[in-house]
Amino acid sequence: MATYIFYILGIIAVVATAMAITRRNPVHSIIYLVNSFFALAMLFYLLGAPLVAAWEVIIYAGAIMVLFLFIIMMLELSPGERADRQGPGPLQWLPVLLLGAALIGCTLLLLKLDPAGSQNIPTWYASPRDFGYVLFHEYALAIEIVSFQLLFAAVGAFYVGRAGGRKEAGGIK
Amino acid sequence: MPEWLLITLLILAKLGLVFFVLLTLAAYLVLAERKILGRMQLRPGPNRVGPFGLMQPLADVIKLLTKEDFIPDQADKWLFMLAPGLAAVTALLTFAVVPFGPPLTLFGHEVPLVVCDLNIGVLFFLGLSSLAVYGMTLGGWASNSKYALLGAIRGLSQLISYELSMGLALVPVVMLARSFSLNDIVMAQADVPFALVNPLAFLIFLISIVAESKRIPFDLPEAENELVAGFHTEYSGMRFGLFFVGEYINLIILGSMLTVFFLGGWMGPFLPGIVWFSIKVLLVCFFFIWVRGTLPRLRYDQLMHFGWKILLPLSLLNVILTGAFLLWRQG
Amino acid sequence: MNIWRDIKGTIQPFWITLRNMFRPTVTIQYPEQRAEISPRYRGRLILTRDPDGQERCVACHLCSAACPVDCISMQATEGEDGRRYAAWFRINFSRCIFCGLCTEACPTLAIQVTGDFELANRNPLETVWEKEELLVDHCGQEPDYNFYRHAGIGVVAGRGENPGEDKPVDVRDLMP
């Protein structure tokens, strides 16, 4: 059973991503992308990593996509672009509806596999503690390097994005 | 098989009960807010419909249901129609992980009084709270109105400003309880609630959930005297009603989250667990209303400065301090 | 220090709102309770009569000229004794702003304000009041004033013969 769900989720993720990169309306493609992230999160859950699944939703669907959306809105692309607005035709809403229905169906199947709630996960299972232990013991160096890289990127972005040129910036201080 | 059926039925009963209580409570919270705000401004609040205005929520629902459901011509129609549902559903779903009482024994089964005790309940809450912004944002964008768009942009920037510190304020709680499950977090507060153990995290979380609830000191996405009604300017009828109900359900959920994480959940002397839980949640809701009656609205950039330059460093510092304290206590 | 002032300024309002919650409300529950109207309240307009029971209005159009929203209109006409009165007199209360300028303009104190403010109506046409509805049977706020004792009706008594009037001066008598 888990294998079927795995393949269905995989197909959902791929189709949603394909839809995301072919949409003309950026907000619609973000919705498809979020759909695909949900499918990915379910995949992680199926593989016994609920923590990673939760991070997938929180960070990718919840934070990064929100940032994307923020930038798209700042660009002032109106939803009423003529080419994309031939009424709510079935081509526009059917794919996302099907994908969403498939996702919900998979969730229900997962629930049915394990009716009491979520205690026993089908395949192998990593608790948050195990996950954290592995992350900060075995891969501590990699984590540190990545986090420093992010810090450098943040400092660099701050440096590049200062108001005005170098001279004005000095003047402001 | 009857075993399996019984468990499923219990889950369904719990679901229905929680759903019903939550919606009723949200409707009456609206009335309570109007009454309390009225009293703070020396007026009695709604008192015409039924005794003491107790039928007001019913009248409001009838009014909203019978109003015209208007969709602007240039709007992105299906997103416009979908967004309010998204806002309400994300609010409702969060309650699934809230433990509202000690386990109950029913038909020889031990029934935990929580719809679904996820072992990553904290993350479930954080995930849904970050998804909740989609309903607001997509609704604001799909309306194709400048006020709605401005409200949506403000809501997004507000979310990125406070969400990080909200998550970081929960890290000390998880460190103290040594679990992501909300049930375990409540159990860990049997002696002392975490609000006393870690008051800084409590304060940061409190401020963050006020921002999360999009209520008055931080109600920039709505800001009725600047942006008409912000992201739901173009909504009418029950679609607006869904946004509205979602906001109040969100209020109850944030109140119960504060209760679970910092005020000891259903733990308390003498009274049964459910009563303690309700008292605490309603007190937090009263605090929210009190804040709304008291504080003025912050400016857009003030909120972002506050979130990024004060709350975030403080919560990071708090994480480090809590970790150091825990290590020191272990020896 | 400034931060203490800020913290105090954030905490103090909470105390004030909490205290206000337990104070009595100031709302007047309108249909059951009624606010006390001040004697100078400017509400619905009336057309008063003089102590003899005659209409005071002489249809001089001054109120209609003074009205900033042009809600007063009338048609002047004359009785057989040369007395001017309004053939019809109309006030559109859906336009009236209750400023009271008409009462200040009125030379005969005919148009006056009252304390009545309940003019709401489902039919907008019924907010237009005609002379019959406006006319009342009392003198309003000036019970003693009677314009027609002094002037108004065509001069019957001849020049200088009205009460309190001097004889006309013959300019040719004033030669030095």
**Which positions ≥6 away from A133 have C-beta within 8 Å?**
none
The candidate with the shortest Cα–Cα distance to A85, out of C12, B71, B234, B262, is B71
Give the pLDDT band (50/70/90) at residue A152: very high
Q: What mean pLDDT, rounded, does chain B reach?
A: 82
Inform me whether the C-beta atom of residue A61 falls under 8 Å from chain B C-beta atoms: yes
**Confidence band for B115, pLDDT divided at 50, 70 and 90:** low
Give C-chain residues touching B42 at CB under 8 angstroms. Answer: 20, 23-27
Interface test with B, best of A40, A45, A52, A57 (most B CBs within 10 A): A57
Torsion of Cα atoms, C23 then C26 then C32 then C37, to 10°:
150
CA B270, B276, B281 angle in degrees (round to 5)? Answer: 165
State how far the Cα of C84 lies from the Cα of C56, in Å rounded to an integer.
10
Does residue C72 contact residue C64 with C-beta atoms inside 8 Å? Answer: yes
Instruction: Check if the beta carbon of residue B194 is closer than 8 Å to that of residue B322.
Output: no
Judging contacts by C-beta atoms under 8 Å, the chain B residues touching residue A116 are 7
Is it the case that residue B323 has pLDDT exceeding 80?
A: yes
Report the interhelical angle of B146-177 vs B199-212 (nearest 10°).
150
Lowest model confidence (mean pLDDT) among A10-19, B10-19, C60-69: B10-19
User: Higher model confidence: residue A79 or residue C144?
Assistant: C144
Using the beta-carbon criterion (under 8 Å), do A73 and B152 form an inter-chain contact? yes
Q: What is the pLDDT of residue A148?
A: 92
List B residues 273-292 in contact with C (Cβ-Cβ < 8 A).
290-291
Q: What is the pLDDT of residue C151?
A: 62
Q: Is B207 exposed, middle or buried (0-12, 13-18, 19+ CB in 10 A)?
A: buried
A169, pLDDT greater than 50:
no
pTM of the model: 0.76
Q: What residues of chain B, 43 to 62, have a C-beta less than 8 Å from chain C? A: 43-44
pLDDT at residue A82 tops 70: no
> Pick from B327, B288, B321: which is nearest to B171 by CA?
B321
pLDDT of residue A118: 46
Question: Is the confidence at residue B124, as pLDDT, over 70?
Answer: yes
In chain A, % of residues over pLDDT 70: 71
Q: Which CATH architecture has domain A1-80+90-124?
A: Up-down Bundle (1.20)
**Mean pLDDT (whole number) for B306-331:** 86
pLDDT tens digits for A98-129? 777 877 777 777 666 654 344 444 445 666 67
* CA Rg value for chain C: 27
CB contact, 8 Å: B74 with chain A?
Answer: yes
Q: Is the pLDDT of residue A165 over 70?
A: no
Distance, in angstroms, between C19 CA and closest chain B CA? Answer: 8
pLDDT for position A119: 46
Mean pLDDT, range A78-100, rounded to an integer: 61
Does B226 contact A at CB distance below 8 Å? no
Listed in sequence order, the residues at least 6 apart from C170 whose beta carbon sits closer than 8 Å to its beta carbon are none
Q: What is the mean pLDDT of chain C?
A: 83
How far is residue B257's CA from residue B265's CA, in Å, rounded to a whole number? Answer: 8
At B117, the pLDDT band (50, 70, 90 cuts) reads low
Q: For position A122, what pLDDT does the model report?
A: 45
Q: Check residue A117 and give its pLDDT.
A: 43
Per-domain boundaries in chain A: 1-80+90-124, 127-173
Contact B243, B202 (CB under 8 A): no
Q: What is the pLDDT of residue A149?
A: 93
The 3-state DSSP class for residue C161 equals: coil
With contact defined as beta carbons under 8 Å apart, do B72 and B143 qualify?
Answer: yes
For B246, the 3-state DSSP assignment is helix
The answer for A 103-132 residues in CB contact with B (under 8 A) is 115-119, 127-129
pLDDT score of B1 more than 80: no
Token code pair at residue B261: 């994480």
Quickly state the pLDDT bin for B150 (edges 50, 70, 90): confident
pLDDT of residue A172: 43
| Residue predicted with more confidence, A4 or B111 | A4
Judged by CB atoms closer than 8 Å, whether chains meet at C25 and B293 is answered as no
- Chain A neighbors of B9, CB-CB under 8 A: none
Distance from CA of B68 to the nearest CA of C (A): 23
Chain B hits for A117, CB-CB cut-off 8 Å, are 11, 116-118
Asked if the model's pLDDT at residue B270 lies above 80, the reply is no
Element (H, E) at C86: strand C84-92
Q: Mind giving me the DSSP string for A43-66?
A: HHHHTT-HHHHHHIIIIIIIIIHH
Give percent above pLDDT 70 in chain B. Answer: 95
Judging contact as 3 or more Cβ pairs under 8 Å, the answer for C and B is yes
Nearest by CB: B130 against A50, A58, A119? A58
Is the CB of C17 less than 8 angstroms away from the CB of B293? yes
Is the CB of B75 less than 8 angstroms away from the CB of A54?
Answer: no
Is the pLDDT assigned to residue B28 strictly greater than 70? yes
List residues of chain C with CB under 8 Å from any CB of chain B. 10, 13-14, 16-18, 20-27
Scanning every residue of chain C, which has its alpha carbon at the shortest distance from the alpha carbon of B286?
A: C18
Tell me which of B42, B210, B310 to substitute to probe the interface with C (most C C-beta atoms closer than 10 Å).
B42
Put simply, whether B47 touches A (Cβ < 8 Å) is: no
Is the Cβ pair C20, B44 closer than 8 Å? no
Q: How confident is the prediction for chain A on average, in pLDDT? A: 74
pLDDT tens digit sequence for C95-150: 889 888 999 998 888 888 888 888 888 888 888 888 888 888 888 887 888 777 66
Confidence category of residue C78, pLDDT binned at 50, 70, 90: confident
Note whether B302 contacts C: Cβ–Cβ < 8 A.
no
Instruction: Work out the average pLDDT over B195-200.
Output: 83
For B121, nearest residue in chain A (alpha carbons): A54
Asked if B118 and A93 come within 8 Å (Cβ–Cβ), the reply is no
What is the rounded distance in angstroms from the CA atom of residue B30 to the CA atom of residue B288? 12
Q: What is the ipTM of this complex?
A: 0.73
Is B124 in contact with A128 (Cβ distance < 8 A)? no
For residue A166, give how far its alpha carbon lies from the nearest alpha carbon of chain B (Å): 23
* pLDDT, average across residues B17-34: 86
What is the model's pLDDT at position C1?
67
Nearest residue in chain B measured CA to CA from A73: B153
User: What does the alpha-carbon distance between residue B24 and residue B54 come to, in Å, rounded to a whole number?
Assistant: 12
Q: Strand B109-111 to strand B104-106: parallel, antiparallel, or no bridges (unpaired)?
A: antiparallel
| Coil, helix or strand at residue A156 | helix
Please tell me the predicted confidence (pLDDT) of residue C153: 59
Q: Would the CB atoms of A79 and B76 count as touching at under 8 Å?
A: yes
CB contact under 8 A, B38 and C25: yes
10 Å Cβ neighbour count for C153? 15
| Substitution target from A25, A60, A69, A75 for chain B, most B beta carbons within 10 A | A69
Predicted pLDDT of residue A92: 66
Partner residue facing A88 (CB), from B78, B141, B167: B78
